[in-house]
């Protein structure tokens, strides 16, 4: 009843092709963004900002990057952690070595260098695919793990090998409180999500999806596989690099290469799988799931244990987190291989028909 396109006539191609062509969609997205910018800061407390919202947003951004590569272009990559690291360390170098470098330019340059790294390590995708490619990308992961530890140039010759930033500010606005950090990251995420959404709706996105579905057929009809695959790696790594720079600068403040190790790569892949391959909205669902589940389990399990009179130790909670996460992943894959985004699109589909069932 509410979610209908009746009466919305498009009179030119431009309005027909625009993002969120349906007016209700536009209103919903604008309302969501407004709530995120205005409503959440009024309701949330410091802990929610620091420990849940900021990591959620940054991981969602990184997941958008991974989803472009894995979900839209079908190239399995286990090296996302390394690209986050490249983004973080190069942004750090640009920020610290160049006098008066604006923060946003530094973050974007981190993404730029990650893009270069992505293109180089994406070259194997021209020769191999599937699981072979996944292991080849692991080479990127371990290589960069080693590079940032071994070469002191990346950490400005700091004897301890730790990189740290402080006193971030943009156009005079000091990014000091958790709410500031949240708003800053939210700005990046909204811009990049909209850009990514438009990108995958456009011709390049369709090329990626063609390569994913059947690359031989795609090359037969004239899509250049090298161009498509390498641009997928490039765009994906750029976004992941910016996310990595944000993670380091805004969330951690001071970091070491272990923050971007293979577990981070797995975590991003989980987010993308659980959220839904090939869905921008799904990245947010997946990131929310991955960020909130350990914290919920941490609170819930001892509470449940106390109900039954069993004292659950922190070690036990840690093990239970692993077990429950593993079970949930398998369960999701069995029940809904298209991820949480499929539920979302089912809900939208039902909403279109509401109040009718069919």
The minimum distance between CB 267 and another protein, in angstroms, equals: 10
Beta carbon nearer to another protein, 10 or 150? 150
For residues 73 and 68, give the distance between their C-alpha atoms in angstroms, rounded to a whole number. Answer: 6
Beta carbon nearer to another protein, 21 or 258? 258
For residues 63 and 253, give the distance between their C-alpha atoms in angstroms, rounded to a whole number. Answer: 21
Question: In this structure, are residues 109 and 96 in contact, taking their beta carbons and an 8 Å threshold?
Answer: no
Beta carbon nearer to another protein, 76 or 204? 76
Question: In this structure, are residues 274 and 266 in contact, taking their beta carbons and an 8 Å threshold?
Answer: no
In this structure, what DSSP letter does residue 126 have? G
The minimum distance between CB 6 and another protein, in angstroms, equals: 27
Please give the torsion angle defined by the CA atoms of residues 307, 313, 318 and 320, in that order, rounded to the nearest 10 degrees: -40
Beta carbon nearer to another protein, 111 or 178? 178
Beta carbon nearer to another protein, 188 or 249? 249
φ, ψ for residue 254, nearest 5 deg: -145, 130
Beta carbon nearer to another protein, 20 or 344? 344
Q: Which two tokens stand for residue 183?
A: 């708003």
For residues 291 and 269, give the distance between their C-alpha atoms in angstroms, rounded to a whole number. Answer: 14
- What's the longest Cα–Cα distance across the chain? 67
For residues 308 and 3, give the distance between their C-alpha atoms in angstroms, rounded to a whole number. Answer: 46
The minimum distance between CB 38 and another protein, in angstroms, equals: 20
Relative to beta strand 163-164, strand 254-255 is antiparallel
For residues 164 and 253, give the distance between their C-alpha atoms in angstroms, rounded to a whole number. Answer: 6
Burial of 303 (0-12, 13-18, 19+ CB in 10 A): exposed
Beta carbon nearer to another protein, 14 or 335? 335
The minimum distance between CB 124 and another protein, in angstroms, equals: 6
The minimum distance between CB 319 and another protein, in angstroms, equals: 4
The minimum distance between CB 126 and another protein, in angstroms, equals: 9
The minimum distance between CB 92 and another protein, in angstroms, equals: 12
For residues 56 and 271, give the distance between their C-alpha atoms in angstroms, rounded to a whole number. Answer: 11
The minimum distance between CB 292 and another protein, in angstroms, equals: 5
Beta carbon nearer to another protein, 170 or 214? 214
The minimum distance between CB 29 and another protein, in angstroms, equals: 22
The minimum distance between CB 11 and another protein, in angstroms, equals: 39
Beta carbon nearer to another protein, 123 or 195? 123
Question: In this structure, are residues 289 and 111 in contact, taking their beta carbons and an 8 Å threshold?
Answer: no
Q: Which two tokens stand for residue 222?
A: 């004239």
For residues 272 and 283, give the distance between their C-alpha atoms in angstroms, rounded to a whole number. Answer: 6
Beta carbon nearer to another protein, 113 or 249? 249
φ, ψ for residue 163, nearest 5 deg: -105, 140
For residues 331 and 229, give the distance between their C-alpha atoms in angstroms, rounded to a whole number. Answer: 31
φ, ψ for residue 68, nearest 5 deg: -60, -40
């Amino acid at each position: 009843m509410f979610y209908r396109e009746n009466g919305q006539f498009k009179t030119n191609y431009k309005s027909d092709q625009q993002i969120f062509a349906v007016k209700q969609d536009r209103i919903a997205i604008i309302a969501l963004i407004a709530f995120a910018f205005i409503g959440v800061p009024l309701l949330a407390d410091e802990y929610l900002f620091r420990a849940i919202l900021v990591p959620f947003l940054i991981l969602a951004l990184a997941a958008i990057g991974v989803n472009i590569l894995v979900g839209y272009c079908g190239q399995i990559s286990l090296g996302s952690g390394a690209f986050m690291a490249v983004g973080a360390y190069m942004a750090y170098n640009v920020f610290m070595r160049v006098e008066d470098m604006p923060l946003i330019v530094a973050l974007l340059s981190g993404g730029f260098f990650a893009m270069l790294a992505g293109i180089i390590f994406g070259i194997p995708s021209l020769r191999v695919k599937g699981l072979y490619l996944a292991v080849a990308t692991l080479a990127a992961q371990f290589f960069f793990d080693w590079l940032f530890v071994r070469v002191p140039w990346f950490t400005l010759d700091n004897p301890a090998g730790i990189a740290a930033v402080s006193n971030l500010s943009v156009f005079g606005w000091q990014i000091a409180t958790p709410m500031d950090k949240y708003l800053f990251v939210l700005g990046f995420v909204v811009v990049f999500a909209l850009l990514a959404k438009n990108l995958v709706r456009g011709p390049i996105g369709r090329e990626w999806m063609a390569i994913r579905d059947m690359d031989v057929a795609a090359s037969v009809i004239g899509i250049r596989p090298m161009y498509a695959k390498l641009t997928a790696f490039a765009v994906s790594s750029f976004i992941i690099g910016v996310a990595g720079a944000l993670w380091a600068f805004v969330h951690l403040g001071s970091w070491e290469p272990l923050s971007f190790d293979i577990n981070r790569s797995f975590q991003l892949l989980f987010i993308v799988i659980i959220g839904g391959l090939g869905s921008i909205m799904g990245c947010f669902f997946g990131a929310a799931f991955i960020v909130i589940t350990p914290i919920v389990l941490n609170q819930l399990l001892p509470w449940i244990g106390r109900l039954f009179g069993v004292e659950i130790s922190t070690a036990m909670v840690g093990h239970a987190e692993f077990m429950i996460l593993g079970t949930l992943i398998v369960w999701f894959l069995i029940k809904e291989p298209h991820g949480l985004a499929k539920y979302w699109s089912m809900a939208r589909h039902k909403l279109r028909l509401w109040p009718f069932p069919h």
